[in-house]
Amino acid sequence: MLLENTLPVLLARFDFAWITTMHILYPPLTFGLATWLVFAEWRWMKTNEEHWYRLTRFFEKIFIVNFGAGVATGVTMEMAFGILFGPFSQAAGPYFGQILGYETITAFMYEAGFIGLMVFGWGRIGKKMHLFATFNVALSSLLSAMWIVMANSWMQTPSGVKLVDGSFHVINWFDAIFSPDAVWAVPHMVTAGLELSLFFIAGVSAWFVLKGRHVDLFARPLKYALLAAVLVAPFQIWLGDSQGVVVAHDQPAALASMEGHYHTLNKDGSPNTGWHLLAWPNADHTGNAWAITIPHVLSLLETHTLNGKVPGMDSIAPKDRPPVVIPFYAFRVMVAIGFFLWFVALWAAWLAFKGRLSISSVAKNKWFLRTLVFSAFLPYLAVWTGWWTREIARQPWIVYGQMRVAQGMSPMTVGQEIFWLAGYIIFELTVWGGAWYFISKIIRKGPDMDSPMVGEGHEHLGHLEAPSHDESAPPSYVRPA
């Protein structure tokens, strides 16, 4: 008999939840900030304006710290698959091994090669080659994130495989890679990273403007980032809504959990179309003890009709029902943040239209700037809550509908589970503390405004002058008389 919700199972779930929660702090900023660096460096190369060079070098330092933290926690996460969920790793190996192999190629070979040129190539390679390296860092980091999300999407909506003797055999690679969830989850996650990075850049820039430091320098990225967010923020909301339709179709239990939707039909037999703004389940988890409900909204969201039927928890076998409270409220926090960030972007567009985001006027908008600093942290919370919704609403399955968490976990004692949990907590907090310390230090110090800009050649000489090309001068290896 399979024992679920035992202490070892709960500890394994919490352990991996902790690892992924801490790791997901870093990749969105990595590929989002890398994309910004491509834009900023391209602007410098096209205009040769010093402020774009200073901004590129400043944000590149933050990128390097964030990238390092992401690599450290990412390697730990892949280790945790084998340690905590050995049977799952073995069963899913024919698919997961290939996908994680592709991710390794993009992250540890393709990306690693070009990040060396990006970081250490200033003054050693030409401008165009350096921009090419930065572009490839951004592209490879996007590809790395894509493979990870595709692997997770397969766990949500497994397709293209056949479970034979406890092993998932791939019968159609296209269907396995482009699972129904992946079609929307990948762009949703990529856009989340771009939106997070835009508000991070805007928040950091707003902090400098509030402090009266380098206002003429940081007014530019502040304006550019927020105007881009005017498009990115609503696009992200649309992607989330589209993914919700897929969840309703392929993961009805997950949707019922996210929406606290217990009853498919009302007492009179009509479809239960109400959407709960707030709710709390009753003691026996057969319904809500109380709820603030808006009629027809759930049907509009999931079926795009007023009276469409949305399966509730009562259509799911009790043993297959996920938890409700965390997915329900995490989902609402994520959605609320998404709309708030869109409001901030529209606020910025209005200020720009009024000419109040110019270099001479931007510092006068104190409350707007304070809101931007606060908003820099909100996308992180949105990513967290979105991830918690996604993972907890899939329970009790590790591969939805095909393998349960208890079947996929490694056979460990409670003591062994606690040992690994304690180790991962210490490690992840150490990495997080180090990353926060160094990123904060970089921001407090501000951009380097004193070192000379690099040019097309001899930049490695620093403040020394380039060697003379006077043909009458003796070669450097000729000792003077």
pLDDT tens sequence across 302-313: 888 888 888 988
Q: Residue 5's pLDDT is what?
A: 65
Q: CA gyration radius for the chain?
A: 26
Flag whether 257 is in a domain. Answer: no
Using pLDDT thresholds of 50, 70 and 90, give the confidence band for residue 475: very low
Alpha-carbon distance of 72 to 67, in angstroms, equals 9
Count: domains in the chain: 1
Per-residue pLDDT tens for 245-278?
889 889 999 999 999 999 998 888 888 888 899 9
Flag whether 74 is in a domain. Answer: yes
Flag whether 258 is in a domain. Answer: no
Flag whether 271 is in a domain. Answer: no
| Contact yes or no for 305/299 (Cβ under 8 A) | yes
| Contact yes or no for 226/203 (Cβ under 8 A) | no
Per-residue pLDDT tens for 98-123?
888 888 887 778 888 898 889 898 88
Copy the structure tokens of residue 276.
């709960």
- Hey, what long-range contacts does 443-446 have (CB within 8 A, 24 or more apart)? 443/62, 443/204, 443/207, 446/58, 446/208, 446/213, 446/214
Flag whether 61 is in a domain. Answer: yes
Flag whether 373 is in a domain. Answer: yes
Alpha-carbon distance of 481 to 471, in angstroms, equals 18
Q: Residue 468's pLDDT is what?
A: 46
* Residue-wise DSSP of 131-166: HHHHHHHHHHHHHHHHHHHHHHHHHHS--SEEEETT
Mean pLDDT confidence for 176-202: 93
* pLDDT of 447 higher than 80: yes
Q: Which amino acid is at 243?
A: Q
* pLDDT of 466 higher than 80: no
Flag whether 184 is in a domain. Answer: yes
Flag whether 262 is in a domain. Answer: no
Q: Residue 3's pLDDT is what?
A: 55
Domain of 114? 15-246+331-445
